[in-house]
Structure 1
């Protein structure tokens, strides 16, 4: 078995070869007959996880065993044993020349293990042995592969290490709160980066039982296949077959390969509530807008837009406003729970227990209460990558809906979405009916007449303030004049679109111009424009109306719309505009060059980067 030589506080480690490799033909005969072989297994401490209090040295123990496969096998393969152990151990056994050019090896040896076509089949015990300061060796799986007699080993599993406050337990049971599979048969393959990937799709065990004596002051380890526990997990503390204490972690938890998350005094009330995790919304990149598709826990980094630039030292965060895109205000917390956590450079938040589509704005504050940055959370079950559209005569991908829209249906106003002043990263509520009734929000949307204080920094600090403007400010919300760099074809930190998308091009390079006049039709019943798609079907553009730059009210809802572009001129901006009245003679649609003042609030339909 493996042991921790210096300290029981070591976390799981990835192992790999770091020595000069010996060519296979120098040590093996060129045939399939089994011959005595010495395999060198190397361990490295260079990839330790960074959440442990201290580190020990992981070594092979004498009499440790490996299943070594030189060809497809179902009986555990060739058994190799080390006599001396150590950090660099020599394992002796017999094997033939690998049929596919590489040895595949599994720790520990198991008669039930098998190998075929680059995949090792193994077993993670549902019952694991509690070992103070270490792992159950039968449950700590490692694999390696090599075309030489030197093999580097990588951890397959991760898990949780915990201590207890009280003594007397003889078993602790782990289970996911969403009925996840956690033990039983598994297959192990190798990803393109060389790291192992475990698959438990054929398993059925929903819990792991760690059995033995549990003494306060020691850590004990559950070995778990890497996966996401969306609803958290539960620990049950047992005595003589009966549950004497239960601890529940209700939060999203990710078990990562070679990392063991620490829970101190797991049997103490509230201990698991300190675990903070969530689905990483920036997995496709950072942005000012993140799409949340289902109920759960989420996180994103405290950086400006699509950059890696910190917003500053954040002391707290809160929801500024939320709406379900109707004219009736939702209760506070109906979309996002008010308890938002800031830790390790990230914001952590949870949706309501019952997922409710809509939109929300989360702001981050410094210790003095200054708002440093804010992010739009778009709660809608759609994947823009899967629903992206290409119009006839074009090759540009466009989103299938406006930012903030909850539907693509022409019927009703859920396809309207939100409004933006040109160049600002934060949205304002859109219309809910044909009279221009704005979406009701839990927070307050304010207005302010443009003055000398109205700068880009002011807008960042006041994301829920619509800046009114008129001729005296050049109809721009920035008092000092135009800034054409806020939204550009090269996505900026002020771009309002989700990661991988941006405000679209205008002018002759814009998708609406390239599609051509014969590519769209006006809909006089639902009030909007339909663009024909390359693969059939249509893209729906509703007549959203707009926010008036001088009064701040919504006008011409259900009749008129402008869609922002990055095409600017000295004063104004090019938009895609249409006015749908009763018939074609009174209506128009087309690209309007340099016609819109930047202080108005209009819709945004994002273009794929």
Structure 2
């Protein structure tokens, strides 16, 4: 019917013009055509059902089986068909913006970065072939298990333009750069190189004239290498293959001081804290204490919050060599977090926190546990991290709460059995807890270091545990990392000799977050309640809400303190549970971390839970 109508319209036009003009006005247009790629192209580009293509300046949807209906397409003597549909059309020229960030697709290029086009007439529609405006660069990355998870790869050329605004001449295929050009290009995505990988980039046709500098970014560090592409070419529809060799991988983690928590005896009126800049190259973030240069020295220090009063810390001053700060205290038991900054004015809008420290004014005692069923021996602190008491019935025995893998604390309840927010103060008044949603930007260790007083809710609701790069559901981190507390294989109960304290461990110097086997007894060979030291040597205290553990002649108190929720950051469960993080993931490829659950009816030392929750921590020494 559509074809008949078009003939009738053409016939009416014939009546109005001379016979010499009739032939050029009548075109027979097909009802549809099938999008077909030029078989000579080596690029693996597929236009999916529902995507948009452009035809002579108007967008149309691609139907199933790559079919495109011509029902709404005006009749013409030629058709310029192109993808993506947002190109700007000028005659037979197409103007595109080649992105500076391409999305990683395994085994293929980012098709949104590779324009396709076809210039044809009505007779040619049935045999049309889409041509690639770009070529491809395939980079072969060798296997690396230590840095298996890549999140981005950056490419920088000294001379050659890699992205920007281009014009494609559909009659000749020539590609010309216009403006907003860039010699830098990034490939982003979940890139697993544990067994090697091929990375594909879409690039405009060109004769390459310089070296390509490449930076591979992993949550564990980065790799760098260069490839000499001078004299090689990127051709339309073709793929240039290059093997990356001699990648220099390095893991550099900057930190300050030698512990994140400093114990101060009650009654003390000042404390000096080491904030010397160091770095470590350990993939487990072990304290290696390599000295950094003076460019990383702190320039100021400031109280962020405390849980006592506005005069708990009355002054914080940085030393003349910028390698320590001194805090003036009122001598009361309590907790404070002090940060060091990169600018002399800590209150400046662009001042950035470099590191932060938990000042913990309390008395502490230790209890040796002896050798357990895994052959390890620990000495356990008599109170929770941040607690100012170890006495049953005292709310000060609950301590502070920590998200798994983070070094900085959050306040808990101020009342036993109730989810009542403890007050926080600075030198001016009451301070409110800042709570933010996790994201790719905020769910990083670097962001958590710069924002130690911000609770980061979960970054993802789903996990990828099948192959690197891993990420975990309900983790505050966007990309997973099992080594943040220095015990990435702790689910297998390693020898304590292999466990090294991490620079992100929140415990005082000489202590670390309790490993998974801390509370196993000396005779059992399995984990869980039946293997716990709590099995026969502890008593539930219903009045004071906690367990009293009598072990090796000494009594330790484990109170219920609840948690901060992964979704809201709010307190909950203070009336029914005490949650105690352990320093390891629950399993090698699982989303959860390991913890001990102290409840009204039992103590379970082999629980698992979401890392974005904030739990209590008990610190231990390795014997």
TM-score, normalising length from structure 2? 0.46
TM-score (norm 1): 0.47
